Amino acid sequence: MKQWNDECGVFGIYNHPEAANLTYLGLHSLQHRGQESAGIVTSDERTMRFQLGMGLVQDIFSEGDLARLPGVHAIGHVRYSTTGSSALKNAQPFFVETVHGRIAFAHNGNLVNAGVLRHELEHQGSIFQGSSDTEVVAHLYARSKGEKLITRLVDALRRVKGAYSLVMLVEKRLVAVRDPNGFRPLVLGKVRDSYVVASETCALDLIEGQYIREVEPGELIMISSKGLESFRPFPPAATRQCIFEHIYFARPDSFVFGRQVYPVRQAFGRELAREHPVDADVVIPVPDSGIVAALGYAEASGVPFAMGLIRNHYVGRTFIEPEQSIRHFGVKLKLNAVREVLQGKRVVVVDDSIVRGTTSRKIVKMVREAGAREVHMRISSPPTRFPCYFGIDTPTQTELIASSHTVEEINRFLTSDSLGYLSRDALERATDHGPYAYCDACFTGVYPVAAEGRPGDPCEPQG
């Protein structure tokens, strides 16, 4: 329903007798970060094996499949990707043979100079099978003259610009590295004696892992028989963590960027109440993503909270729409209004963001048709006006309603009685992260890293 699609989730585990099983569970916990394809690569220190597939983790891997992935180290990936038969080409982990041996990469992020580098590599004779940025990293790695794995990887990563939380597996080593700006999350933990890395801590929780700390922006961690080694191979850079992880992407029970998402998201709601109060009878969220902010709004405003929209959790990919059209069909398949909660009420509807505005407009109408006297939209983030180049699959700028419309115009389009967005200042207050440490290019258009590209070949965001 959200018109921006999530990026990817990565997972890695070193030295565990059930590496594939735990990776499978870790990926299940990260399923919200990508539902289109998934893959696991394992190593038993001599042989590396892999399986990739389209769909949900639980549908791709049977018990027999996991048994055919023996090994003590493993990495895994869930991905949002474009549909079609070619999608499997871009499924990850990306697994290749190089002069330095077999190597597998699982990547969350997007490189803004991938197009330029790819062009350059192609000119040097490289061939590309898919369109993922990860393939570029693998080529750079393979071409490096560095003698040690770490040298080659750093060689490669010094060439790339943009966002990457990258997990890499070779026969006997697991590497985790986060770009200097730290756009995307990556955490380090342990299951008993085995190190684990994952996009979010919820992956640790399921497998009874302990959270140790974040992989820091610009940090490269190598785990081998020598234990864990930490490197800082890149020039220092300002931290620019993706604020949308806190607004929308990450699970509320996860810790990302050192903070649990739930209280941050709740604080957004509280700030939103302060900035955009309204005389109302009830606060309702757009479930599920708006729930925590709505609770914060209700708490700070004193307006009672209710679940005025009920979500149908059985909605899958495709639905057949009758010819005799149904108003707000796409939204109705997922949401239904609770008349007794809304009837005659002045209603505050809390959502995390507005993309094109069409869904929000349908929601406003659905709430009003259920009897609401007034409908006030409150958005727990600033207007989204610019596309993301750091790992989120957003619509183009022209499709983002806030790129070309004022708040008042958007309010009219939505047919709501009022509309309030959270300010960037309030966002900063709520995250309470000392000096402002987040990337908010989607609100400001100020990109921490400039995109490079051949004319006519804009660097498309990819997971």
Among 148, 213, 327, 412, binds a copy of itself (CB under 8 A): 327
**21 binds a copy of itself per the rule CB under 8 A:** yes
Alpha helices per DSSP H over 302-423: 329-334, 339-342, 358-369, 401-404, 407-414
Contacts with a copy of itself: how many residues (CB under 8 A)? 90
**Is 190 strand, coil or helix?**
strand
Least distance in Å: CB of 246 to a copy of itself? 13
**83 binds a copy of itself per the rule CB under 8 A:** no
**33 binds a copy of itself per the rule CB under 8 A:** no
Q: In residues, how long is the chain?
A: 463
Among 22, 111, 163, 379, binds a copy of itself (CB under 8 A): 22
Distance of CA 273 to the CA centre of its chain: 26
Distance CA 9, CA 348 (A): 33
**210 binds a copy of itself per the rule CB under 8 A:** no
**206 binds a copy of itself per the rule CB under 8 A:** yes
Instruction: Kindly name the residue from 8, 202, 388, 442 that is annotated as catalytic.
Output: 8
| Distant-in-sequence, close-in-space partners of 63: CB < 8 Å, separation ≥ 6 | none
Three-state SS for 251-274 is CCCCEECCEEHHHHHHHHHHHHHH
Site for a copy of itself in 131-170 (CB under 8 A): 138-139, 142-144
**Burial class (CB within 10 angstroms; exposed 0-12, middle 13-18, buried 19+) of 186:** buried
Binding mask 285-324 for a copy of itself (x = CB under 8 A): ---x--xx--x---x----xxxx--x-xxxxx-xxx-xxx
Q: Which of 264, 261, 243, 242 is nearest to 252 (CA)?
A: 261
Taking a C-beta distance cutoff of 8 angstroms, is the pair 320, 326 a contact?
Answer: no
Among 7, 11, 15, 18, binds a copy of itself (CB under 8 A): 18
Taking a C-beta distance cutoff of 8 angstroms, is the pair 411, 456 a contact?
Answer: no
Site for a copy of itself in 347-406 (CB under 8 A): none
Alpha helices per DSSP H over 144-290: 149-159, 202-206, 243-244, 261-275
Measured from the CB atom, the residue of 291 and 402 that comes closer to a copy of itself is 291
Among 59, 229, 279, 408, binds a copy of itself (CB under 8 A): 59
| Distant-in-sequence, close-in-space partners of 205: CB < 8 Å, separation ≥ 6 | 29, 253
Whether 439 sits among the annotated catalytic residues: the reply is no
**425 binds a copy of itself per the rule CB under 8 A:** no
Measured from the CB atom, the residue of 69 and 221 that comes closer to a copy of itself is 69
Among 8, 10, 66, 286, binds a copy of itself (CB under 8 A): 66
Partners of 79 in the β-ladder: 8, 37
Per-residue tokens: 150: 């770490």
Distance CA 336, CA 319 (A): 16
Measured from the CB atom, the residue of 298 and 410 that comes closer to a copy of itself is 298
**95 binds a copy of itself per the rule CB under 8 A:** yes
Q: Which of 99, 100, 101, 82 is nearest to 91 (CA)?
A: 82
Among 293, 337, 441, 449, binds a copy of itself (CB under 8 A): 337
Give the single-character DSSP code of 5: B
Measured from the CB atom, the residue of 173 and 265 that comes closer to a copy of itself is 265
**37 binds a copy of itself per the rule CB under 8 A:** no
Measured from the CB atom, the residue of 64 and 227 that comes closer to a copy of itself is 64
Least distance in Å: CB of 31 to a copy of itself? 4
Among 85, 225, 396, 398, binds a copy of itself (CB under 8 A): 85
Integer angstrom CA distances of residue 457 from 322, 330, 385, 438: 40, 33, 22, 28
**Segment near a copy of itself (CB under 8 A), from 178-186, 205-213, 435-443, 452-460?**
205-213
Site for a copy of itself in 104-133 (CB under 8 A): 119, 122-129
**251 binds a copy of itself per the rule CB under 8 A:** yes
Least distance in Å: CB of 71 to a copy of itself? 14
Measured from the CB atom, the residue of 84 and 236 that comes closer to a copy of itself is 84
Q: Mind telling me the catalytic residues?
A: 8
